[in-house]
Chain A
């Protein structure tokens, strides 16, 4: 049982890691980017090619995937989403437009990945030796992802709480109009948050690819996973995303252990539905 919970925590750390970027995009910049997961696969593929084609450390793939993903997401916000924001008469209309537009992008990216990288599942071995402690053993690559999740999450929490930049982002998350009236450059900072979200997901893609193989069509799975985590944790709350990730990971592992491993996704969705019905603002949201 201890090992099950431990596995759950490590898995949950990975969920939190995947969700951090989308939390910047959806929680702060208020854009539900359905093509989010495509940058996860981009990060994964960059690492895959680093090790298979060039025999480099797969994490060196980050040197390419992070800047590319940052720039691409900034461009998406600036040139595709901003016109929609300017045009939208209300939030409902904007949400609809953004969902459609980013869904189109998802197809475009997925199409490119399929054409240039093929539809195969791509995986490789890296840091796959077990690490033992307290009688349980965990693969080192998963531990690395967990550590990265905690470090990145912690850093983001600190930035959000302690810096001017973070305070401005929190203000935008709560009320973009009031933030603008207080002198925050809402559009520039939202674009930056959106781009940072893209960079984060590329990192998570690279780390997760060390133990889970990806294919061109697996992006949407991670987008959904991240969304569930964010909604359970409360949009815009970095600590909430990490906590919700851990909660979902543990619930999945323990539920799979006690009931049936085939039902792990069902457990995830059940938690999501429960949260939506009972506390739609998220478990760890203020107020």
Chain B
């Protein structure tokens, strides 16, 4: 079914392209120039959405990149062949965006919007200044004349490349990485994604497409000046088109671009001098009534039709619950899915596989009292981290024995989570060293630490809210220590979901999951990265007694498979049952270390947990 519709879409694209390519033979000059405007807008808004759609960075730099392309061609066409000029435009656009991205993509939200807007303004100012002061002429002439049919065909090719390319990227690892970054960059980094590189690369690829479009488009003009080259309208038009169509669907921006150009033409005709007002009203209407764009609505409709057809075809099989759509589009839809999410949850708290695990496992693990194995998976030495005047971790040293389960316990605020953040490269320590099997890992970035086979879960669960359970887990497999293609990751993700008892919720999106299920997704995602060391941050907190038992068995199972575990935990039952080695922290310092029985009977430990008076009693 999916394959057939994919083939159909492919065929339709080829036929449509062929028809469009042949059209100019029968079109008037006006028709050709209309086509040029459509294709340029399709290519630009698709390129814009390639980066800004999944990552949610609102860029107003489109005009800057278009202008770079225009000016490259305007400068170079005097002495170089047109093909070389265009290649040059793409290359310069790419590197310009690369440098810009490298320095600014850590800005988020409104700051990035303003920066990109400012960049365009700056480019316009600088080019005006250059043209006025250096060349003494504001206008730069385009001396070659290219037939408008040729421009039409070139832009058609670019538009098709943009749409097909952006569809292709969305199916690759790169596409998944981009989406994950848009959902939660910290999680993405901890799943092994080099977020900076991915962002900069895609930003630059998109920009190079924009420059290319600019380079072709400028051939229509007899001359350009900075207000044409770096005109803000490009940035806004493209942004609106992409948002109108739906920036998170590969074909959404194209639809948006076509509609916006049509709408503008219509408004100019119908309202003439009230055009600007009408356009403004249209924006506001889009924001209020079609958030997320038109494309998801169309897909929703299509999905509904398909389901209706299917329901008609197999009325007898109607009892099988329908998989909810992957995208949360309408509120009523979400509500429905939520209801569906709650019902199977109860059932699967005792998932058959889990039930078997619970029954077969021993109640308490019997550990040899000879102490931790001699070789350490990870050694922490002299670790220190202060936040202003607050010293969160102070001269902390301990070993995590390979193959065992180590507990890291202590009262709230004793610095346990900070230790995890230091180990995973989330925070840089002020002093000390962290050695993973002989390698110093201080200064190593989060995504490399993940690839170095340390995985973690978060104390405040961080499931990527807009991605399905399955996609969340696939992410770890695709970018972890042993990266695979999306197809291979898909197969293994299901096995992992089965393992944590989420097999029946693979299609639910993160934000629809209950708290406990979100914790399961996190664990599955961490396991998917194929860690040798797993860091669990209060993973058992908030579980009911049955769930706790299942959870304890699951952690033990993980350890038996050869994964070393460090668990930050408050649930003493679990510490006693699982941990062969326990480190106790208080106020950033280690106050006790040993077997669970040893540390829990240590008076210093009871004192910090219960307070001086109660401990004495």
Chain A residues with CB under 8 Å of chain B are: 26, 32, 80, 83-84, 87, 89, 91-93, 95-97, 99-101, 103-112, 114-115, 224, 227-228, 231, 260, 262-263, 265-266, 269-270, 272-273, 276-277, 280
Contact = CB atoms under 8 A, between A and B. Distances in A.
Majority secondary structure, B binding face? helix
Interface string B120-137: 011001101100110000
Majority secondary structure, A binding face? helix
Contact of B109 (A83, A95, A109, A265): A95
B118 A100 contact: no
A266 B240 contact: no
Nearest to A115: B273
Nearest to B112: A276
28 contacts: A32-B110, A92-B109, A95-B110, A97-B291, A99-B110, A100-B243, A100-B283, A103-B236, A104-B284, A108-B277, A110-B276, A111-B274, A111-B277, A111-B280, A114-B276, A224-B118, A227-B114, A228-B114, A260-B129, A260-B133, A262-B125, A263-B129, A265-B121, A269-B122, A273-B118, A273-B122, A276-B104, A277-B103
Contacts of A270: 122
Contact of B129 (A110, A266, A269, A280): A266
B282 interface: yes
Contact of A231 (B108, B111, B132, B133): B111
Nearest to B133: A262
A219 B589 CA distance: 58
Given A101-B283, A224-B121, 9 more contacts: A100-B283, A100-B287, A104-B280, A104-B282, A104-B284, A108-B280, A110-B276, A269-B125, A276-B104
Interface centre among B129, B240, B276, B286 (most CB of A within 10 A): B276
Contact of A105 (B109, B114, B128, B280): B280
A23 B157 CA distance: 46
Given A104-B282, A111-B280, A115-B273, A273 B115 contact: yes
Contacts of A272: 114-115, 118
Given A107-B279, A107-B280, A262-B133, A101 B114 contact: no
A277 B104 contact: yes
A262 B240 CA distance: 32
Contact of A103 (B111, B273, B283): B283
Interface residues of B, number: 44
A178 to B, nearest CB: 17
A260 B58 CA distance: 33
Interface string B86-113: 0000000000000000011001111101
B286 to A, nearest CB: 7
A223 to B, nearest CB: 10
Nearest to B288: A83
A231 B109 CA distance: 13
Given A97-B287, A280-B111, A265 B125 contact: yes
A95 B132 CA distance: 38
A91 B118 CA distance: 22
B129 A262 contact: yes
Contacts of B287: 84, 97, 100-101, 104
A231 B111 CA distance: 8
B114 A111 contact: no
Contacts of B129: 260, 262-263, 266
Contacts of B280: 103-111
A231 B114 contact: yes
B117 interface: yes
Contacts, number: 122
B220 interface: no
Nearest to B58: A96
Interface centre among B115, B118, B128 (most CB of A within 10 A): B118
Interchain residue pairs A-B with the least CB separation, the first 9: A107-B280, A104-B283, A111-B276, A111-B277, A108-B280, A104-B284, A269-B122, A262-B129, A104-B280
B2 interface: no
B112 to A, nearest CB: 9
B366 interface: no
Contacts of A83: 288
Nearest to A97: B287
A272 B120 CA distance: 13
Contacts of A87: 291
A228 B276 CA distance: 26
A106 to B, nearest CB: 7
A97 B323 CA distance: 30
A87 B331 CA distance: 10
B126 A266 contact: yes
B461 to A, nearest CB: 16
Given A227-B114, A273-B115, A107 B277 contact: yes
A276 B115 contact: yes
A123 to B, nearest CB: 22
Contact of A263 (B121, B125, B276, B465): B125
A109 B274 CA distance: 11
Interface in B256-279: 273-279
Given A96-B58, A262-B129, A266-B125, A104 B115 contact: no
Interface centre among B126, B274, B283, B465 (most CB of A within 10 A): B283
Nearest to A272: B118
Contacts of A263: 125, 129
Contacts of B283: 100-101, 103-104, 107
Contacts of A84: 287
A181 B126 CA distance: 49
A174 B274 CA distance: 41
Interface string B393-405: 0000000000000
B111 A111 contact: no
A100 B242 CA distance: 12
A112 B133 CA distance: 37
A287 to B, nearest CB: 9
A68 to B, nearest CB: 18
Contacts of B115: 272-273, 276
Nearest to A35: B280
Contacts of B273: 114-115
A115 B280 CA distance: 14
Contact of B122 (A106, A109, A114, A265): A265
